[in-house]
Amino acid sequence: MVSEVVGLAVNVLMVSSIYILVALGFALVFSVMRIMNFAHGAIYMIGGFVCYYFSVSMNLGPWLALPLTTFVTGLFGFLVEKFCFRPFRMDFEKATVMAIALVIILKTGADLTVGPTAKGMPPLVAGSIEVGSIMFGADRLVVLFIVCILLTALILLVRMTQIGQAMLAIAHDPEAASLMGININRVSSLVCAIGCGLAGLAGGLVGSVLVLHVSVADTILVRTIGVIILTGIGSIGGLWAGGLAMGTLDTLGPYFLPFVVSDPFGFALVVLILVLRPRGFFGHEM
């Protein structure tokens, strides 16, 4: 019993931490640029494949591949912001069309280069940890550890540094922020680079725990938006709660209910929360 609970808790924490990591990038981009980046899931998927390429095809090993993946997807995010999203900042509909064009390009690219086969990467750390009668891979704990460090660093970046304060200021009121001498373009570039870099890194981290497939793009996108809704649109500090709720729902749901029931049930819960409390747990009315 105890071992089962520990195993479940590790899974819940790992899934939640990945969700939080992806949702953080999405939420940062949304609050600073008011753009729903529907391409976020596709970038996560590409991150997984880029990491696979570096780590398996080029034989660099996971510990070199992960930073490289972050850099590549971050650079991609920087370019995307500069050439695709900057003209459509604050324009929800046009930015949506742009993001869909990106999704089409990325998914078709992945389809053509990788194909429909699922890929798996070697674990970050070999071996497994035994708690009572249940065993789980040590790499899950490593993933959890990396994500926790990254999240702490990001929260410190947003809360403590000047550029983080600039992000919050733009999220609060872009016009006033630019009057105070904040360069919105530069902050947007940084935010988009960080967001896409994190999504790519999350894709790479998950690649060693789960499988890589083109279809994960949609799955993670839906989860990310779910986390954003549960947290409250526009809130960054409360993402841990939304991520934890979504991760728990996703991990424990199939454990207690058959999969076919738990999936619609979880989405219905998200809709219910949206109807009853549109602000989510921490958000503010916009």
Count of C-beta atoms within a 10 Å radius of residue 57? 10
Q: Kindly indicate which of the ranges 1-9, 17-25, 81-89, 145-153 contains the residues binding another protein, using the contact rule CB under 8 A.
A: 81-89
* Tokens standing for residue 124: 């970050």
Q: Does 5 bind another protein (CB under 8 A)?
A: no
Q: How far apart are CA 37 and CA 286, in angstroms?
A: 18
Q: Does 126 bind another protein (CB under 8 A)?
A: no
Q: Kindly indicate which of the ranges 159-167, 169-177, 179-187, 267-275 contains the residues binding another protein, using the contact rule CB under 8 A.
A: 267-275
Least spacing, CB of residue 208 vs another protein, in Å? 27
Least spacing, CB of residue 61 vs another protein, in Å? 32
41 residue type, one letter? G
Q: Does 90 bind another protein (CB under 8 A)?
A: no
Out of 56, 82, 218, 238, the residue judged to bind another protein by CB under 8 A: 218
Interhelix angle 239-256/259-276, rounded to 10 degrees, is 150
* Tokens standing for residue 29: 């981009």
Q: Between 140 and 213, whose beta carbon lies closer to another protein?
A: 213
- Contacts for 122 with CB less than 8 Å, ≥ 6 apart: 55, 56, 62, 208
Q: Does 260 bind another protein (CB under 8 A)?
A: yes
Least spacing, CB of residue 235 vs another protein, in Å? 14
Question: Which residues is 131 bridged to in the sheet?
Answer: 134
Q: Between 129 and 274, whose beta carbon lies closer to another protein?
A: 274
Q: Between 13 and 249, whose beta carbon lies closer to another protein?
A: 249
Q: Does 199 bind another protein (CB under 8 A)?
A: no
Q: Does 76 bind another protein (CB under 8 A)?
A: no
Q: What DSSP designation does 173 have?
A: -
Q: Does 256 bind another protein (CB under 8 A)?
A: no
Q: Does 92 bind another protein (CB under 8 A)?
A: yes
Q: What DSSP designation does 236 have?
A: S
Comparing CA positions, the residue from 215, 247, 234, 248 lying closest to residue 281 is 234
Q: Between 17 and 224, whose beta carbon lies closer to another protein?
A: 224
Q: Between 1 and 112, whose beta carbon lies closer to another protein?
A: 112
Question: Which residues is 129 bridged to in the sheet?
Answer: 136
Least spacing, CB of residue 70 vs another protein, in Å? 25
Q: Does 278 bind another protein (CB under 8 A)?
A: yes
Q: How far apart are CA 144 and CA 140, in angstroms?
A: 6
Interhelix angle 40-52/62-80, rounded to 10 degrees, is 150
Q: Kindly indicate which of the ranges 12-20, 44-52, 124-132, 270-278 contains the residues binding another protein, using the contact rule CB under 8 A.
A: 270-278
244 residue type, one letter? L
* Cβ proximity of 220 and 37 under 8 Å: no
Compute CA distances 79 → 76, 171, 187, 241, 245, whole Å.
5, 21, 14, 31, 33
Q: Does 233 bind another protein (CB under 8 A)?
A: yes
Which residues here bind another protein, judged by CB under 8 A?
Answer: 36, 38, 84, 87-88, 92-94, 96-98, 100-102, 104-105, 107-108, 111-112, 218, 221-222, 225-226, 229, 233, 259-261, 263-264, 267-268, 270-271, 274-275, 278, 286
